[in-house]
Structure 1
Amino acid sequence: MYLCPLCQLPLTLSSRHYQCANKHSFDVAKEGYVNLLPVQQKKSLDPGDNSEMMQARRAFLEAGWYQRVAEEVATMLQPANPQQILDLGCGEGYYSGILQRQLAPKQLYGIDISKAAIRYAAKHYPNATFAVASAYQLPFAADQFDAIVRIYAPSLLSELQRVLNVGGYLLTVTPAPAHLVQIKQAIYPHVKLHSDAIEQLAGFQHCERKQLRFTLDQLTAADLDHLLTMVPLGWKFNAATKTQFIESKPAIECDFYLDLYQLGTKQPCP
């Protein structure tokens, strides 16, 4: 199911390593994932979020604060009954695990450029298949997936078009206008809200938008610290202002857009 990231020929699994016809070889780690991110595709020695950000995100997500986001993604995809799903930029696999449990596809793949995150995902969600790989050169054959989930992850449109079946679905999660507005208010004198425009994607028909808005009003100091550490907005705080913000224990507004697209059809979305 993988393509070689060096020559794009199919990879065959044998004795815990993948190999293509050109003899490029990639070992399967003991946790079960494979690293398909060659040095030519790396912008640093250890790409992806740093360890502190990953640990904070893992703690925040596993506390269940964004569980309803993952469940709503699964609910929107349920009518399509996708059997081959790609979780693009899957991180530590939190959303992959919920999608696997609720949708029960034949195969769910997750990719991320962070080796540490994929190692964790492979160890904790063994029913899914994980690889270290670039979203800008996906290591998959054409027309391989029925659905792609893209939660905040950057990607290359032509690659999404290539690996998704005609008639397949792309579900994106992006910030809606009021997302984390209380954090912005603590940083900026004038707050700029996120856009409410629907992104137009060439080759895709937009089928549905849902706005998921809720308030986190029971966050502990540890939860707030994790949230500030895992989001880029948190980088704007210095130690003193971060402590002051956490001690004020504000309620945090969460505001998401979930947009469902279908590839290559002009018929009304089912």
Structure 2
Amino acid sequence: MNYLCPICKHPLLLQEKTWCCPSNHRFDCAKEGYVNLLPVQNKGSKDPGDNKEMMFARREFLNKGHYQGLSDRINALAKTYAKVAKNGLDIGCGEGYYSHRLQECLSTSNEFNLKGLDISKSALKYASKRYKAIDFCVASAFDMPFADNSFDLMLRVYAPSLDEELRRVVKTDGILITASAGEQHHFALKQLIYAEPKPHMSESSQIQGFELLHRENLASLMVLEDESDITHFLNMTPYSWKLTDEQKSQLVQEGLKCELDFKIEVFKAI
């Protein structure tokens, strides 16, 4: 499956290591393998998305398996609801942790091609270098460089997007799996930051053009004792900016316990 030109919306064809359209817009593949399809005028900032420090922290944290339970459950739901999917997309794929594990899971039973999209070039440099079986592109989830009705399966973990853009690129009856914060997610940390911490919204999501097939909460208690794990966890989240240095130092020294509560939902395009 080829990309669409982000400027003129014509199909792109790969010529050696450059994606080209009939209007002669050209996009070179980076040495790591990804292609940057985010036009300068659409960037919004010099380096949009997660910066190198946040990406590194999340990469190291996820590689230790602390969120593997979420990945395993996503993969199980994909095998249940989209077991014959051939073309998939991970929206806001970051450094590729969930993408890679999903691709490995679904490729065991049939040919499954997965693309990863993220606005962070830093994240995709790492993802492309490590996960060669997946095609990654720098692009906006609000204007995705794909043709209509391209995907049987889409994954969105904590990534913002537009309902109409999700519906445009997915096939009718295609499956969308989303993961977001459940009601008690990281509540212990919120208690350190806010005088009156509020739980996350617990209602089921509504996405225009999709029917909700399944909703569940995956809850557990995360216990971190290793100093580097705690530091990486804090640095990959907004809590790093909201906790004081004294609070962070205390967590690193004493260990961290907090709730994991993921809201996982499965939708079908209608």
Give the TM-score normalised by structure 2.
Answer: 0.95
Q: Distance in 1 between matches of 2:245 and 2:265?
A: 36
Q: How many residues align?
A: 264
What do residues 67-108 of structure 1 show as CA deviations (whole Å, max 9, x unaligned)?
111111010010222211100000000111100111115210
Q: Which consecutive unaligned segments of at least 5 residues does structure 2 have?
A: none
1:134 aligned counterpart, secondary structure: coil
Determine if contact 2:219/2:262 at 8 Å carries over to the other structure: yes
- 2:242 paired with 1:236: yes
Q: Distance in 2 between matches of 1:183 and 1:224?
A: 12
In 2 relative to 1, CA 241–218 (structure 1 residues): closer, same or farther, beyond 3 Å?
Answer: closer
Q: Distance in 1 between matches of 2:204 and 2:34?
A: 35
Deviation larger for 182-191 or 87-96:
182-191
Partner of residue 16, structure 2? 15
1:198 pairs with 201, 204, 207, which one? Answer: 204
Partner of residue 110, structure 1? 116
Q: CA deviation at 1:248?
A: 2.6
- 2:100 paired with 1:97: yes
Determine if contact 1:144/1:163 at 8 Å carries over to the other structure: yes
Partner of residue 130, structure 2? 124
2:253 pairs with 232, 247, 250, which one? Answer: 247
What do residues 30-51 of structure 1 show as CA deviations (whole Å, max 9, x unaligned)?
2111110110110111111111
Counting aligned pairs with the same residue, the percent is: 43
Partner of residue 64, structure 2? 63
Which amino acid in structure 1 is aligned with residue 99 of structure 2?
Answer: S
Partner of residue 83, structure 1? 86
- 2:161 paired with 1:172: no
Q: Which consecutive unaligned segments of at least 5 residues does structure 1 have?
A: 265-270
What do residues 114-134 of structure 1 show as CA deviations (whole Å, max 9, x unaligned)?
111111101100111101111
- 2:80 paired with 1:74: no
Q: Distance in 2 between matches of 1:51 and 1:33?
A: 17
Q: CA deviation at 1:233?
A: 2.3
Q: How do 1:175-190 and structure 2 match up within 5 A?
A: 175-190=181-196
Q: CA deviation at 1:247?
A: 2.0
